[in-house]
Each structure stands twice: as structure tokens, then as C-alpha cells.
Amino acid sequence: MLPQLFDPMERPLLDNDGGLIEPLVMVDLDSQATLAPPPADRLRVGVSTREPGAVNSQMAVALDVTLVPQDGVIGAQVVGCADPWADAELLHSAAKANPQAALVLAQVLRATRLDVSAALDLESFAYSTLLSGTEFARWLALRGPRPLPPPAPEPPVLVHRAGERLLITLNRPERRNAYGRDVRDALVEALQLVSLDSTIARVVLDGAGPSFCAGGDLDEFGATPDLTTAHLVRTRAGAGRLLYQLADRTEVHVHGTCVGAGIELPAFAGTVIARPGTVFRLPEVGMGLIPGAGGTVSIARRIGRWRTLFLALTGRPLDVTTAFDWGLIDAIE
């Protein structure tokens, strides 16, 4: 079934119970290229089967993402697809499965012109809102109860100083360096050291084991004491702000499967270097959430809000070559 096409006589967004009637609408740019974009109440996706250069650039900027054929020069506002309408169906299905998270994601990404500090606060406010929503509750119920992760058997982050260079290594390989409390706090402590020591000229951040970081520790999801505390910890005790502040001194080396925070945090750094075969993924919308480690800010500033939305809404893996072409990473070595 094809997604709903934009109709100027659009139905209300909400039903009588406050449920989303249709979170996403399509704009067929092959036949409606001269129309103004739909109202911003819904997530708006443009689709064209023509060459990317034939797409109205102002329309593409106004929409949340535009899908086009792979051939041709592609800008940050569009995503090249082997079959644009098939990927439109994928986006529509993802939005219908978690409509609240999908629409909130689009709303947050539209505000990427905010300065970084304000944008991180906005992301966190939205994330906390979704933590209390029915979609995340459904994901938690399907996951089932889990015990909290065991304490780290070794220091969760290793720090080694060599002259003016500081090497920071995420060190929970048995959990694929999941960004849980232990790793987060130890990483923040190391970055705070850098911010206080101007003699550290270069910081290199990497990860031990098969992956740089597998994202947030799923065993800790749903364990927050309250949403306000969660917001303050996420924004004031997380690593994103520090990595942004230290970007001109920081490079991150990533490898393996980098999920969620495993690419959201590196994207703040001045330089991101990936090994061949590295794969990136943003799965949060499928959990009823949005990226919460700064990804709506860091990734959007590297590849644009449009491609960020596509990655987060589909949850599709991004290969290292495309990540380099888009600017998500700076080198493959």
C-alpha cells in the first residue's frame, strides 16, 4: 500500500482521543513540483523518480527528506535510492509503527539552526517526553524485565598520556562498549581532564574489542528515577557537550558496528576516522524514542537534517563508504 499523498484538504492530525491519524504524507515531486510544501503538522517526504538535478531545491529544503534515484549528483537534502517509492513505503511503515517518535524526530530536526547547547536541550526534552510515552512502554514490555548490567570487571575507560597526546579507550568489550552509566561517567571524567589541561594538544578516542560502541546499554533503559533527573544527567553529565567543546583537539577512531551513541558522540569530534567495514545505525525510533546522546545535533550538522531523519526513521545500516561520501566520517583507514 502506497503512503498517503499530500492532499490540500488534509484531515486533522489527531483523532478524538489524541491519537495521530496519519503522521506522514508524501509529495510526488514528479507531478506536484510547483506546489508549496504541505503544512508542518506532519512528517513530509518528497519522492521523485527523475534525476536529482530536476528536483526543486527550495521544495527539497522545505521538506523533511526527499527520495530520488541513485544516479546523478545528490545534495544533503535528498537521499539516493534504488527505488524511491519502495523506500517511501519503508518510511511510511516506520512512521505508522511509532508515529509519536517519528513526528517528534521531525520536529526536533527542524530546529537544528539552534546553537548546540540549546539544540541538545531540545533533543533531551523531546527524549524525556517520549520516555513517558506509550510507544516506549510497548518496547519495554516486549523486551521484558532485565537486571541492571554487572559492574565493569576492568576500568570502563582507559586513559594514557604520551607527551601532548591523550589516548582514551572505551574498555567494556564484553558489552561492546555500550554507553551505560559506568562508561559514560568515566568518559566524562577523562574529557573533563582535557578541558582543564591546555597542555593536552590532541585527544584520540577509540574502543576496545569488536566494536567502538554498541550504543546505550539496553539493560539500563527504563531504569531512570524520574524524567527531570534523566534530562539533567543526559545534558549536563553526558559526553556530547564536552566532545563538542573539545572538537578542535579531538579525533575519534571507530570500528565494527556503531549504534546510536556509538556514532552520535563521535560526530561531535573534529575528526572521525573509521576502519573499513564499519557500519552505523540509529535504531531509536523503533523503540519509540529518538537519538538521545546528541545525534539530532551532531549528525545533523555533519550530513544535514534530511539524511539524519532518513537514517533514524528507517533504522537502516549505513555502510562506511556512504558515511564518508555524506560527511558523517572524515576518513577510512
Phi, psi of 49 (to 5 degrees): -100, 5
Report the alpha-carbon distance of residue 86 to residue 125 in Å, rounded.
Answer: 33
Q: Quick: pLDDT tens for 264-301.
A: 999 999 999 999 999 999 999 999 999 999 999 999 99
Report the alpha-carbon distance of residue 78 to residue 69 in Å, rounded.
Answer: 10
Q: What is the pLDDT of residue 1?
A: 47
CA atoms in the 13 A half-sphere facing the CB of 257: 11
Is residue 104 within 8 Å of residue 41, measured between CB atoms? no
- For 333, the 3-state DSSP assignment is coil
Place of cell 561517567: 185
Q: What does the CA dihedral 180, 223, 105, 115 come to, rounded to 10 degrees?
A: -60
**So where are the chain's domains?**
24-97, 116-332
Q: What is the pLDDT of residue 244?
A: 98
Q: What is the pLDDT of residue 53?
A: 73
The tens-digit pLDDT sequence of the chain (333 residues) is 455 666 655 678 888 888 888 899 999 988 755 567 788 889 999 999 987 777 888 888 999 999 999 755 668 999 999 999 999 999 999 999 999 999 999 999 999 889 999 999 999 999 999 999 999 999 999 999 888 888 888 999 999 999 999 999 999 999 999 999 999 999 999 999 999 999 999 999 999 999 999 999 988 887 788 999 999 999 999 999 999 999 999 999 999 999 999 999 999 999 999 999 999 999 999 999 999 999 999 999 999 999 999 999 999 999 999 999 999 999 999
All cell numbers assigned to 71? 544516479
Q: What is the pLDDT of residue 11?
A: 75
CA-to-CA dists, residue 307 to 71, 118, 123, 312, angstroms: 17, 21, 17, 9
CA-to-CA dists, residue 155 to 90, 167, 170, 243, angstroms: 42, 14, 9, 21
Angle at 218 between CA 215 and CA 222, to 5 degrees: 125
Q: What is the pLDDT of residue 247?
A: 98
Is residue 279 within 8 Å of residue 319, measured between CB atoms? yes
Measure CA of the first residue to CA of the last residue in the chain; give whole Å: 43
Report the alpha-carbon distance of residue 245 to residue 248 in Å, rounded.
Answer: 8
Q: Quick: pLDDT tens for 299-322.
A: 999 999 999 999 999 999 999 999
Q: Quick: pLDDT tens for 115-131.
A: 999 999 999 999 999 99
H-assigned helices in the chain: 57-62, 84-97, 99-109, 116-131, 134-143, 181-196, 227-236, 240-245, 261-264, 295-303, 305-314, 320-326
H-assigned helices in 257-317: 261-264, 295-303, 305-314
Of 1.20.1420.20, 3.90.226.10, 3.90.920.20, 3.40.50.12280, the CATH number of 116-332 is 3.90.226.10
Q: What is the pLDDT of residue 4?
A: 60
